[in-house]
Chain A
């Protein structure tokens, strides 16, 4: 199937028909998805990353006489909040917190997930049983409630929220890694490595994981969107980073009661930022996953 899409010259089917084939359509879609995803993500992530460099007003200290200015007001592109703080500045600085937590959380959850999943898949037996039951147990817990409970117990801070989200997300990469390792460990190159006398940990780290990493990383990337959403949900519920530092969920939470009084921008604009980032990351991850699958199919 993918051979047709990848090397059309080796077939007698006319190129016009080939272009309309399902495989070619999927290839085009994945490219479009990746570009649109990269664009949506870039629109949010690039300004967020440059927030400290851009000439923006202070996100914490406002000018009270500039209270609740609508978007496109002089000096305030996205308007101000009731405390007279520039909304663009708050969204970009708040985005730094959300993205920092999201990135740290997926790094940690990816690491835990890959290590645990690889161990479960390769060693099998009681290691697999323990890890599988652990992740099933965790997946059966209501995620947001669990997060709220932990934050209530240990207090809201970037470290606690990051750890909580990371621990909440490890089952996803762990399950995928386990499944991929189960397939890989039966392949001849693994048997050859064993025959050559390589240790089990070395086989996993040097031979199996590099072969499955691309597929796992795509799933880990997709978790970024979920991590940002979780952080925003926690902030929205008041369990996020403490005031007066901005977070996306916090800005929306503060603005929601003013929405009906006409200050629509306080909820809508940060909401659009979250939606763009989540959509972008998902499309990008989706496109990458399609590409990785296709590449895998071609090579095998």
Chain B
């Protein structure tokens, strides 16, 4: 066989000897290398990967690559900003928070405070699920009940108490609380409605909802979901035919996905990626002020006599943080330094002061309080916020300049941070932590962070030991005050008192930054870092 192959001259084999084994191996090697290189090149040259965005006709497909695994299609335990976009495309609530951070009606036709402690809600008469089954008041009752039954519910923790449900007729019911709860219409925007029979006190990975999309396939393990337009939607139908959702933890992988055309939208991107993507002509960035507060929060569980129990020491340490340099160098200017104890985008925010950089003052104050050779331990969960490790490493230098030694402890993802936060896994002094807000209300943050009571602290459910009865009393009063002016006055008083205690070394609010390919139009990013998928259009 080998004698017939006319390549002996080319491979250098001697005349009359046929093809040598070496020549054959070289040839096979060349063919193999050619095949590998050729297929790699053709793969790179392809405009889009499998499952990529392929606009077709009217609706088209959209591919979203999230930065975290979308474990479920409801939010009982899992409500990070970008997940809300997808969850609400399938399931809806009685209300939603609009672009102006005010509650808007969705499944409810009316949602009114009819008595100081009672809200009366009437469901729309035209709503139904994707299988055309009607939405009943029992579905709402079950949903509300299960959000409170599930353990460690992020949503339930935002309610001061569980409202008592009472049915009036087939479309009307009341929600009653022991104390007035004037923000219940906003809080109910987080309770997503599912048919009572299909609902469970756990995360729902599939199932039906009233939203503009329905689930075609779901794999919560790999975090991939395929949503298709709900042709039976009770409202204005979605513009897209299909939405594919996947996740990629590596920021670099997501940047490559959008630049190569495999993804149409990536959200919550880091400042470095934003700066790099700005140079790409096929990609647009959307940047909006956010509602997520990130802070370097002090541990309020330190024993009496520890320097950090002294508000003057806490204030002094804040002067050591050169936040302008951090913002310009490590955050590319896409964050704003806090001017109060909650993000300024929230309704009810009060400007209480500004963080200042003055290392001389920090040293002087520390000396005045008799503090020297202070050793602090900083903890944070891996990737809790963009560039977290870099910020923490920069703080080591800044605090070192005022004579404070900092030890860093990065907690890996996977839930261990909760034990640290509760003080069960070890001692720490400062926590780098983000606090999201989906209601648009300052009181939600205030309640969750600064509304700690001795009762809550017994079970370590206060926010890192922040228990000041005077402050939690003011927040409670504000939460039950129906008069808006009086409520705002109470909130102002509470925020000023919190600021005076210097609860954080520094705090900031990152802008929400989303990158999309230019073929994606009419995408409106809300301050809560989510958008209405039904309004999104793709072209080309």
Contacts and interface: CB of A to CB of B under 8 A. Distances in A.
A254 B256 contact: no
Contact of A65 (B325, B389, B396, B397): B325
Nearest to A66: B329
B330 A257 contact: no
Interface in A48-65: 60-62, 64-65
B408 A244 contact: yes
Contacts of A254: 389-390
Nearest to B276: A261
A82 B275 contact: no
Contacts of A64: 322, 325-326, 328-330, 394
B273 A261 contact: yes
B141 interface: no
A61 B396 CA distance: 8
A202 interface: no
Nearest to A67: B329
A270 interface: no
B370 interface: no
Contact of A257 (B252, B329, B396): B252
Given A244-B393, A259-B252, A260-B252, A82 B387 contact: yes
A71 interface: no
A66 B250 CA distance: 26
Contacts of B393: 60, 83, 243-244
Contacts, number: 75
A43 B407 CA distance: 33
A259 B253 CA distance: 10
Interface string A246-279: 0000000010111111110000000000000000
B270 interface: yes
A200 B407 CA distance: 52
A267 to B, nearest CB: 10
Interface string B312-337: 00000000001001101110000000
Nearest to A238: B412
Interface residue tally on B, bucketed by range: 20 to 34
Interface string B238-281: 00000000000011100110000000000000101101100000
B471 interface: no
Contacts of A84: 329
Contacts of B389: 243, 254
Given A64-B322, A83-B394, A262-B276, A242 B329 contact: no
Contacts of A82: 272, 329-330, 387, 390
B382 A257 contact: no
B227 to A, nearest CB: 28
Contacts of B461: none
B532 interface: no
For chain B, what secondary structure do more than half of its interface residues adopt (helix, strand, loop), or is it mixed?
Answer: helix
Given A61-B397, A65-B329, A82-B387, A257 B322 contact: no
B187 interface: no
B392 A261 contact: no
A60 B276 contact: no
Contact of B272 (A61, A238, A257): A257
A64 B382 CA distance: 22
Given A62-B397, A64-B322, A82-B330, A257 B392 contact: no
A158 to B, nearest CB: 15
Nearest to A242: B408
Contacts of B460: none
B276 A243 contact: no
A243 B392 contact: yes
A261 B250 CA distance: 13
A61 B382 CA distance: 21
Interface string B379-420: 000100001011011101100100000011110100000000
Contacts of A67: 329-330
Interface in B337-387: 382, 387
Contacts of A61: 396-397, 400
Nearest to B251: A257
B390 A242 contact: no
Given A244-B396, A261-B272, A83 B255 contact: no
Contacts of A259: 252
Nearest to B255: A260
B261 to A, nearest CB: 15
B263 to A, nearest CB: 13
B302 to A, nearest CB: 22
Given A82-B329, A254-B389, A261-B276, A60 B252 contact: no
Given A61-B397, A243-B396, 12 more contacts: A60-B393, A61-B396, A62-B394, A62-B397, A64-B322, A64-B394, A82-B387, A244-B396, A257-B252, A257-B273, A260-B252, A261-B276
Interface of A: 60-62, 64-65, 67, 82-84, 238, 242-244, 254, 256-263
15 contacts: A60-B393, A61-B396, A61-B397, A62-B397, A64-B330, A82-B272, A83-B397, A243-B408, A244-B392, A244-B408, A258-B272, A260-B255, A260-B256, A260-B276, A261-B252
Interface of B: 250-252, 255-256, 270, 272-273, 275-276, 322, 325-326, 328-330, 382, 387, 389-390, 392-394, 396-397, 400, 407-410, 412
The 9 A-B pairs at the shortest CB distance, nearest first, are namely A261-B276, A64-B329, A260-B252, A67-B329, A64-B325, A244-B393, A61-B397, A257-B251, A243-B408
